[in-house]
Amino acid sequence: MPRRLRPLLKETIDKTVMKITITGSIGNIGKPLTQELVQRGHQVTVISSNSEKRPAIEALGASAAIGSLEDVDFLTSTLTGADALFAMVRLKSQSLIIMGILEELLAAI
């Protein structure tokens, strides 16, 4: 877990079991973040567009949600019931649209 993320995790989610959804799959940030959250007892769902990553996600103790961040129905279904969202998307014009969709969905649920 990168040191810069540790204080944030400790302050915000140390005491409560939460349902946390992570976008960005299990790369350099997502994998250690998922490991840390699962180790702390949280229910973690990792969103990936690549179905081949399902076994690796589940090996970390997380649930895999395979789909597209551009699919509103998929996002609505995946985010319903989540207490927190850690969203990592690339900064490009399409990502700004996706972030807008995510904000609207989170406000609605």
CA separation for the pair 104, 41 (Å, rounded): 28
- Domains of the chain listed by start with CATH number: 3-108 (3.40.50.720)
Helices (H), 1-109: 6-13, 30-39, 54-59, 72-79, 93-108
- Angle of the 30-39 helix axis to the 6-13 helix axis, nearest 10: 40
pTM: 0.73
Collapsing DSSP to helix, strand or coil, 64 comes out as: strand
pLDDT of residue 44: 97
pLDDT of residue 94: 56
Enumerate residues 6+ apart whose C-beta is below 8 A from 17.
Answer: 41, 42, 43
Per-residue pLDDT of the chain (109 residues; tens, 9 = 90+): 555 555 655 555 456 789 999 988 788 889 999 999 999 999 999 999 999 999 999 999 999 999 988 888 898 899 899 988 888 876 555 555 666 777 776 676 6
